[in-house]
Structure 1
């Protein structure tokens, strides 16, 4: 771990120690993270700045995830946190999650429209923050881009433009900031957050094997981080009464599993990793064929980067210098060697069973 991080960690630990014990004991994880300067309050629920310490932890986690999937030889793709509006429309996201989507608007008017905007803005600024009018936004128009709701969404149209998949399918490594409109005081439910994904495109057998492999590897990573591990069947938060039917179907077909860790509420559990089988949904939407002409199936493992980072602070404390030595070594030491050794140990029982 670099010395800059150690210095910042010491400063954060000192700040936390200066809080009175009575106040400290009543603080939520969000309060504690803000008081220690690990998260930065922007005045908007679910929208935070991140300190150097927080970013160093997250980057160490990111490195570990890279080593965990290196043997898959994935194609690495990185996109900005926005995607083309037509691709977003084609994804059918609005059918299932209209309440989470975020669009991007901009001023596209003339001089008269600009004057109306400024007049409305002056009126709004004369009010308190919570009472401000949004009349100036009437001069804003939708642009051709929207905020990315999940890291994997931009890759499907890219894969479609390439034509048929190779015989072995494709595996893609993608990382992006994502947006979901669900403001909350729970720091594990941010409006802007990073999602790291490995995405598999291929036959149903290839995708199902991929998902099972990552359930095992994701559990291994969390155990190496010395965090509690629980895998459970899950469903996405589909919108409305019709969404309940879709959610029930998703659970009945066991299409989604989540790795749960207590984060903000020690009595509850937060989904920090998800393991998803989309069947041929995206392959059919974007007409992605396999080598034999069949519609491609897809699946992904998603790592909630902020959520896992928050879980580390929840379970190991705000002073990273006091974290268990093995956790620190995994994040900031010889990460590749530790991941490789753990994977060999995990695979040894399976190999012995095959031999028997």
Structure 2
């Protein structure tokens, strides 16, 4: 039985319980860990439930690598809003002399990053980002709906288990007319809440904002909240007072439509919305509230995940 079952939350105890039961595998770096077989089984079954719920929506299925074209984060102003989260990819581009310098510095325990150069790719910071360049052009009258499960990277090293540097998101992206896009987002907010509650989790939704950087970022966050552009589904995993966001539902207006030249049949910039289930966080919420051994979970929860 997890500590949350008795109404208490202890971050260290929860992390150690995940490790002790082989659910996660520690590595040296904070915010990164391996996943054991049981953890992966629950994650895949939860993701399959999302597929089941959305089976009649007609979403196109895509698969993308964990790296994207670096110009995407440059064109979308990601580096203006979230420079602290970005992960760019550097590689060695020198010749023999520079290679010798690199080796010498590494073996001497000295800094060597300046001997590498930036590449054309970066780690994907948002699960929806690879989609927008792909759907450039004129949309069908009913718009487009795309789904994928993407690895996401954010530079947030932390010993707290739900604060990961690398994690998976089951994502949906809707592009089209404003009314249809907003209605779709709101429909999925109810779907997400319903799914988590069916699995015995004390989920609730709330208006939210992204972790914008700096003083300007605080103003952006206030505007985002005021316009209700972002909602999150929250579940107590680490604390009751500061519940963990396990799902996010976002409306972008025509921002990506303008940047990536995505148009409606009327030649207007398309509006977009996205929603994402943080798969690792959803799974951790299940372990937090039902215990570390799935065989002991409530029958109704097991019936949904292991039909």
**TM-score, normalised by the number of residues in structure 2:** 0.95
**Residues matched between the structures, number:** 300
- For residue 167 of structure 1, what is the aligned residue in structure 2? 141
- Measured in 1, the distance between the counterparts of 2:113 and 2:216 equals 32
Across the aligned residues of Structure 1 and Structure 2, the Cα RMSD in angstroms comes to: 1.5
Contact 1:28 1:264 (8 Å CA) reproduced: no
1:216 is the counterpart of 2:190? yes
Alignment partner of 1:232: what SS?
strand
1:65 is the counterpart of 2:41? no
Question: Which of 174, 187, 193 is residue 161 of structure 2 equivalent to?
Answer: 187
Question: Which of 299, 312, 322 is residue 296 of structure 2 equivalent to?
Answer: 322
- Measured in 2, the distance between the counterparts of 1:43 and 1:265 equals 25
Listed as ranges, the matches of 1:1-356 within 5 Å are 27-124=12-109, 133=110, 135-160=111-136, 163-333=137-307
Once the two structures are superposed, what CA deviation does each residue of 1:100-134 show, in whole Å capped at 9, x if it has no partner? Answer: 0001111110000000011001111xxxxxxxx4x
Once the two structures are superposed, what CA deviation does each residue of 1:223-245 show, in whole Å capped at 9, x if it has no partner? Answer: 11110011101100111111111
- Measured in 2, the distance between the counterparts of 1:282 and 1:174 equals 18
Query: Of Structure 1 and Structure 2, which has the larger fraction of its residues in helix?
Result: 1
Alignment partner of 1:241: what SS?
helix
Structure 1 stretches lacking a partner, 5+ long: 1-12, 17-24, 125-132, 334-356
Larger Rg: 1
- Measured in 1, the distance between the counterparts of 2:154 and 2:93 equals 25
Shift of 1:332: 2.0
Q: Cα distance 1:73–1:174, how it changes in 2: closer, same or farther (>3 A)?
A: same
Q: Cα distance 1:32–1:266, how it changes in 2: closer, same or farther (>3 A)?
A: farther
Structure 2 stretches lacking a partner, 5+ long: 3-9
- Measured in 1, the distance between the counterparts of 2:240 and 2:19 equals 18
**TM-score, normalised by the number of residues in structure 1:** 0.82
Contact 1:30 1:264 (8 Å CA) reproduced: no
